[in-house]
């Protein structure tokens, strides 16, 4: 069966009629002759009873966005059973910064209030206040995050009041996040809540002057396996100054000055686009969607950044760096391409990365035949032009919106941030370089499947239909494919490998993929579709 022969109806044929109608709206088949992307259902509740791979609102807030900030201690307010993301569950690498004295921490740390039955009955505010006192006394953090879990919202503990009292007592920011797991439909709600609080309580509070002709923030980069460091080094070689990576290897002291840069670079659109848009509204800071995963994607991103500043010397240095890096990695990549060429893959990776990794796999001669997200919105698939058509539902309205106005003292017109005329800036916007993300659909292959919130059953069916050579996914569904005889690469923490970004990271990725495809163990497993009915029973 070829990719274009696949019928979406086959995937949902065994579902009850009501479920079938729901799930069909979450699945789109790429049809190049049809032109634009058909509407896909996304950011809606999972059908009850389906084994989804989604996370909760708390996971998106604490686990993804605020957890990696190295000089803020995070407190999970809730029972210990809710506190999975109080662990160091992702490989958000961090390093000591020059301003960190020896007695202060520079590694991410999180604690839980360990709510017991009596605390649930009588309230946990006093317990939380006591924990904040202890954390300040022992660790002297620059600031504290307090993230709530489901029971806290149900019993009504006032995080805001406790945080405000602690802030007055200790003289450091204590920021509450009402990110109870049941809010929203997935971890995406937690991203939004975290973005709002960081924007309201941290960004814009810094008074430090930044030196540099071309200063940028790298937003939505979480430094898994050192990805952010590779990007930062490449940008600084060309002539940029990276004020902050948000939130991988980020520090509170740098986030305060986010508003003082010339340009925001957005890597993960879904988790951080709120801050990018709010900074544009309040401070006039323009933003550019970039992708440093894949050779061609990295080259395109570097050229786009240089064009945004329009400096001929910067553009020339960009081309020199590209030429040097290509010369260094091309021979090694070609060696791995011989193994990878012609193979197919699925990509179920968070953020924008299901889209991003299509570029890197294409560099290796592979095709992504099925891709999707667990917590995307329609614009992540269809492009930002559909945002005005997205209707708010009850779940979306659970998340407060910040209604910002241009700051009377710190706002500058976006073109002035880039030191260019209004006409030139408008040209960049019209070309799709600034303030735009085209979504996943345009880069899917003809006949490929785009699926939102894929469940366990659909994953198995897709594997049997497409018989991919490799699957990129998260920890929850990694072993589904293993049991079916298909190698899987866990991309939320890179299975302890990486970095995978930029030119040198592409070589590391290619090596890992070639190893996965070549491992003889997979030939010793008979996938279910090749077993006899008797054996399968």
> Which active-site residues does the annotation give?
56, 59, 90, 191
- Give CA–CA dist 338/154, Å, rounded: 56
Q: Where are the beta strands (DSSP E) in 400-486?
A: 449-451, 470-473
What is the helix (H) or strand (E) element at residue 310, kind and residue range?
A: none
- Name which of 20, 40, 43 is nearest 30 in CA terms: 40
Q: How far is CA 474 from CA 21, 233, 354, 373, in A?
A: 27, 28, 11, 11
- Name which of 142, 129, 147 is nearest 187 in CA terms: 147
- Name which of 195, 183, 189, 188 is nearest 376 in CA terms: 188
- Give CA–CA dist 181/191, Å, rounded: 12
DSSP codes of every residue in 148-175: E-HHHHHHT--HHHHHHHHHHHHSS-EE
- Name which of 270, 240, 268, 246 is nearest 258 in CA terms: 246
SS3 245: strand
Give yes or no for a contact between 38 and 28, defined as CB atoms under 8 angstroms apart. Answer: yes
């Amino acid at each position: 069966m070829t990719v274009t022969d696949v019928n979406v109806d086959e995937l949902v044929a065994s579902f009850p009629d009501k479920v079938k109608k729901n799930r069909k709206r979450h699945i789109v088949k790429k049809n190049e002759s049809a032109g634009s992307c058909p509407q896909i259902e996304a950011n809606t509740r999972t059908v009850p009873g389906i084994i989804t791979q989604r996370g909760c609102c708390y996971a998106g807030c604490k686990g993804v966005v605020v957890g990696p900030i190295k000089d803020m201690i995070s407190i999970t307010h809730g029972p210990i059973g809710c506190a999975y993301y109080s662990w160091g569950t992702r490989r958000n690498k961090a390093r000591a910064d020059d301003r960190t004295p020896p007695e202060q921490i520079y590694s991410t740390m999180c604690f839980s209030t360990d709510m017991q039955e009596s605390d649930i009955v009588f309230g946990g505010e006093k317990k939380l206040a006591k924990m904040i006192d202890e954390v300040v006394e022992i660790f002297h953090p620059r600031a504290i995050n307090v993230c709530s879990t489901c029971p806290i919202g149900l019993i009504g503990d006032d995080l805001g009041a406790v945080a405000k009292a602690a802030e007055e007592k200790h003289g450091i920011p204590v920021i509450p996040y009402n990110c109870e797991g049941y809010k929203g439909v997935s971890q995406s709600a937690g991203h939004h809540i975290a973005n709002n609080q960081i924007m309201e309580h941290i960004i814009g509070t810094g008074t430090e002057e930044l030196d540099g002709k071309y200063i940028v923030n790298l937003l939505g980069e979480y430094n898994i396996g050192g990805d952010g460091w590779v990007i930062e080094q490449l940008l600084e070689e060309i002539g940029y100054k990276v004020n902050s990576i948000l939130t991988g290897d980020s520090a509170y002291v740098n986030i305060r000055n986010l508003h003082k840069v010339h340009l925001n670079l957005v890597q993960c659109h879904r988790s951080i686009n709120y801050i990018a848009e709010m900074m544009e509204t309040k401070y006039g800071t323009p933003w550019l969607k970039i992708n440093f995963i894949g050779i061609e994607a990295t080259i395109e991103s570097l050229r786009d950044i240089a064009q945004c500043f329009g400096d001929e010397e910067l553009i020339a240095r960009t081309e020199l760096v590209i030429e040097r890096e290509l010369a260094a990695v091309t021979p090694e990549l070609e060696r791995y391409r011989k193994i990878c060429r012609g193979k197919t893959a699925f990509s179920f990776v968070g953020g924008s990365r299901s889209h991003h990794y299509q570029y890197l796999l294409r560099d290796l001669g592979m095709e992504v035949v099925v891709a999707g997200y667990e917590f995307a919105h329609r614009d992540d698939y269809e492009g930002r032009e559909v945002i005005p058509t997205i209707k708010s539902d009850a779940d979306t309205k659970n998340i407060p919106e910040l209604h910002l106005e241009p700051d009377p003292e710190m706002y500058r017109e976006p073109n002035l941030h880039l030191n260019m005329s209004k006409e030139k800036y408008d040209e960049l916007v019209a070309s799709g370089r600034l303030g735009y993300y085209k979504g996943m659909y345009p880069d899917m292959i003809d006949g490929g499947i785009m699926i939102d919130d894929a469940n366990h059953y659909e994953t198995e069916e897709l594997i049997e239909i497409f018989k991919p050579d490799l699957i990129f996914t998260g920890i929850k569904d990694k072993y589904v494919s293993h049991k079916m005889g298909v190698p899987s690469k866990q991309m939320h923490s890179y299975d302890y490998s990486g970095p995978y970004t930029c030119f040198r990271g592409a070589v590391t990725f290619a090596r890992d993929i070639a190893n996965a495809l070549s491992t003889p163990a997979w030939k010793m497993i008979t996938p279910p579709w090749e077993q006899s009915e008797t054996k399968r029973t």
